[in-house]
Amino acid sequence: MSHDAETVAALAVGTSKVAALVAERDERGGARVIGVGVHSTAGIRKGEVTNVEGVTGSVEKAVAAAEKVCNRPIRSVFLGVGGASLEAQVGRAVIPVSRPSAGISSRDMERALSAAGMTAVPPERETIDVIPEDFAVDDGERVANPEGLHGSRLAARVLIVTARLASVQNLIKSVNQAGLTVEDYIPEPLAVSLSTLRAEEQKSGVLLIDLGAGTTSCLCYRDEVLQAMSVLGVGGDHITNDLSIGLKILQGQAEELKQKAGCGPEGAAETLALPAGLGRAPLAIPRARVSRIIELRLEEIFSLVRRGAAGAEIGRGLGSGAVLTGGGALLPGAVALAERVLEVPARVGRPRGVTGLSEIIDSPLFTAPAGLAAYGFQAREAGSSRAKERGGPAWSMVKDWLGKYF
């Protein structure tokens, strides 16, 4: 595949914005961002394409803007696949150990993982990634690395991430129509985790929440293993809608009020002014009223997070609490509300290990494209860009993971 080996381009197609990012390796092995382009999205609902032409147009504009900044053309991209159709299911398999007297070999582990990854998914869904979880020997405890252990049966557990096949096809078609090839694609929440989470957090247990415009994606790591991933079809735009309907104001006004008021206790006695516009008289609205509407919806979103597959891991103990990212993390008071509803400490997630254009990039709005760029470098170095291997299940994660041990 023709690409400039020194740089990667990442594309995150969100419900509210398309973000294109071009990065090169810096001296310390991180990513130096040399181009960014953002454009509002047309034709996406809850992270899924509803209008191919609209999305193509948005992608073209975001990519053109990024090309202008770095003054080089973008031909292929690492793409995030997100949206409400994303799901993770557990795959399991048990295989006989090839030479029980010699102990379990890396080949046995690979075979067990492969068999677990073959767990059937419904025909209308595509497997986007297969992520190794752990092993068990005979009927023993779960272990991360069973190499050398004695036993006759080896069980493997994987997380199979799938999306609606048509959603993936529509997204790729929109990107291809913008004149781009897709070098590889991964689940977007996984990309976000690559740019935001620290290794210690992944070990001690962390819940990552990407509060976007039309979706809220969650995933949970413990013991460095991805435990669960889930996507809700609700996000920050629902808060804006509530304000628009509840206060009988325009969407644009509601968005402005939302960002200004937030849901924290600060300035509760203030009144917020809305200038006259589109034939309407100016308005003065008590901040407390605005905050209450925001709080109700956000509380609902965090409650849904808690009840989802990733949020359920809170009950098993998360030493590092929660990390909130996506545009919703910028809402004043959102982190405190997350802490109250989820009953764990929380922080805002911003891209880590990224330099260049930091005045733009250093924001929870850019954790998805930054993570996709980080993945791009990893995939290139591992020579595992799955574009070559597509057709079967996606195995790069398995290979990367096996690479850690062998």
Give the interface with ligand ATP as residue ranges (CB under 6 A).
Answer: 14-17, 47, 82, 212-215, 235-237, 240, 255, 258-259, 326-328, 330-331, 365
Q: Which stretch binds Mg ion (CB under 5 A): 11-19, 91-99, 347-355, 393-401?
A: 11-19
Taking a C-beta distance cutoff of 8 angstroms, is the pair 323, 192 a contact? no
Q: Which stretch binds Mg ion (CB under 5 A): 19-27, 103-111, 204-212, 330-338?
A: 204-212
- Of 212 and 371, nearer to ligand ATP (C-beta) is 212
Residue 188: both structure tokens together: 């977007």
- Of 135 and 366, nearer to Mg ion (C-beta) is 366
DSSP 89-148: EEEEEEEE-S-GGG---HHHHHHHHHHHHT----TTEEEEEEEEEEEEETT--EES--TT
| 14 in contact with Mg ion (CB under 5 A) | yes
Taking a C-beta distance cutoff of 8 angstroms, is the pair 209, 322 a contact? yes
Nearest distance in Å: CB 205, ligand ATP = 24
Considering only residues 205 through 224, tell me which ones interact with Mg ion, judged by CB under 5 A: 212
In 207-240, which positions are buried (b, 16+ CB within 10 angstroms) versus exposed (e)?
bbbbbbbbbbbbbbbbeebbbbbbbbbbbbbbbb
- Of 49 and 318, nearer to ligand ATP (C-beta) is 49
Q: How far is CA 74 from the centre of its chain?
A: 22
- 151's contact among ligand ATP, Mg ion, none, with CB below 5 to 8 A by partner kind, is none
Q: Which stretch binds Mg ion (CB under 5 A): 8-16, 147-155, 228-236, 263-271?
A: 8-16
- 85's contact among ligand ATP, Mg ion, none, with CB below 5 to 8 A by partner kind, is none
- Of 77 and 272, nearer to Mg ion (C-beta) is 77
Taking a C-beta distance cutoff of 8 angstroms, is the pair 305, 209 a contact? yes
- 236's contact among Mg ion, ligand ATP, none, with CB below 5 to 8 A by partner kind, is ligand ATP
Cβ-based neighbour number of residue 62 at 10 Å: 27
Nearest distance in Å: CB 79, Mg ion = 13
- Write the CB contacts of 203 (distance below 8 Å, at least 6 apart in sequence): 221, 222, 223, 224
- Of 326 and 376, nearer to Mg ion (C-beta) is 326
Contact positions vs Mg ion (CB under 5 A): 14, 212
